[in-house]
Amino acid sequence: MSKTMILAVGGAGCNMAETIMRVANAHWVKEATYLFADSDMERLSELGKKGFETLSLQCDSDSFPTDKLKGVEKLYILAGLGGVTGSKFAEIAAKAAQSDGVENVALIVTIPFVFEGSGKLGKATEALKSLSDLPVKVLNNEELTERYPDINFINAFEYSDKEALNAIESGLL
Ligand SMILES: Nc1nc2c(ncn2[C@@H]2O[C@H](COP(=O)(O)OP(=O)(O)OP(=O)(O)O)[C@@H](O)[C@H]2O)c(=O)[nH]1
Ligand SMILES: [Mg+2]
C-alpha cells in the first residue's frame, strides 16, 4: 500500500480521482492509494463494483472516520466546491487527518464555472472561507475557458479533472 493517498470527496472529487487514475503520468500518482468518499450511495456502489475502496459519508454528520488513513504520509484531498458533500467534508477530512497525525495534507478544490450559475458560485465562495487555515490549492474552473478555446459543456469537467492532476503532479507536497 502506497503511503501517498488521493482522497476523493463528493461527486466532483470522485470524478477527478477516476480521471487521475486513468491519465496520470507520474508513477507515484498512478500507484497512490485511492479512497472514494461520498454521500451518494448509488455512485459509491458503482465505484465499489469497479473495485475501488469507498467510504460512505453522512451529510448530517460532522465527522470523518480516519481508520482508512492509517500509515498515510502524504494526503491529497480532492473536491469541487459548490455542492453539499465536497464543500462540507473537504474541510472536515483535512482537519481529521491532521489531528490524526497525517504529516502532509493538501487540499485541491475547484470553483465552479460561471455557466453553472451564481448559486453554486456563492456556495463555493462560502465553503472556501472555511478552508482558509488549511493548505489549499484553489483551481478556478472559469480560468480554463480562457486557456482552452475548445472548451464546451461536454468536455469542461474533463479539463477541470486534468487541472487537478496537474496540481498534484506539480509537487504540491
Ligand atoms: N472536475 C470536476 N468538477 C466537477 C465534476 N462534477 C461537478 N464538478 C464541480 O464540482 C462542484 C460540486 O459538485 P459535486 O461534486 O457534484 O457536488 P457534491 O460535493 O457531490 O455535493 P452534493 O451532491 O450536493 O452533496 C460543481 O459545481 C462543479 O463545479 C466533475 O466531474 N469533475
Ligand atoms: Mg454529489
Neighbours of 81 (CB within 10 A): 26
Q: At what angle do helices 85-99 and 118-129 cross, to 10 degrees?
A: 10
* 9 CA distance to ligand 2 middle (Å): 9
What is the mean pLDDT of the segment spanning 1-12? 95
Cite the beta strand spans of the chain per DSSP E: 4-9, 33-38, 53-56, 74-80, 104-111, 136-140
pLDDT score recorded for residue 89: 98
Q: Which ligand is nearest to the CA of 85?
A: 1
C-alpha cell recorded at residue 81: 466546491
Residue-level pLDDT at 105? 98
- State residue 64's pLDDT score: 97
Domain 4-169 has CATH 3.40.50.1860: no
| Region 45-55 average pLDDT | 98
Q: How far is the CA of 13 from the centre of ligand 2 (A)?
A: 9
User: What's the whole-number mean pLDDT along residues 52-61?
Assistant: 97
pLDDT band at 29 (very low <50, low <70, confident <90, very high): very high
SS3 track for 71-106: CCCEEEEEEECCCCHHHHHHHHHHHHHHHCCCCEEE
The phi, psi pair for 62, rounded to 5°, reads -115, 20
Mean of the per-residue pLDDT values for the chain? 97
The b/e string for 13-39 (b: 16+ C-beta within 10 A; e otherwise) is bbbbbbbbbeebeeeebeebbbbbbbb
150 pLDDT above the threshold of 90: yes
Task: Supply the pLDDT for residue 104.
Answer: 97
Q: Tell me the pLDDT band of 135, cut-offs 50, 70 and 90.
A: very high
By alpha-carbon position, which residue is closest to atom 9 of ligand 1? 80
Q: What pLDDT, on the 0 to 100 scale, is given for residue 1?
A: 78
Interatomic CA distance for residues 79 and 107, integer angstroms:
8
pLDDT tens per residue, range 59-92: 999 999 999 999 999 999 999 999 999 999 999 9
pTM of the model: 0.98
Residue nearest to atom 28 of ligand 1 (CA): 112
171 band by pLDDT with thresholds 50, 70 and 90: confident
DSSP state of 113: P
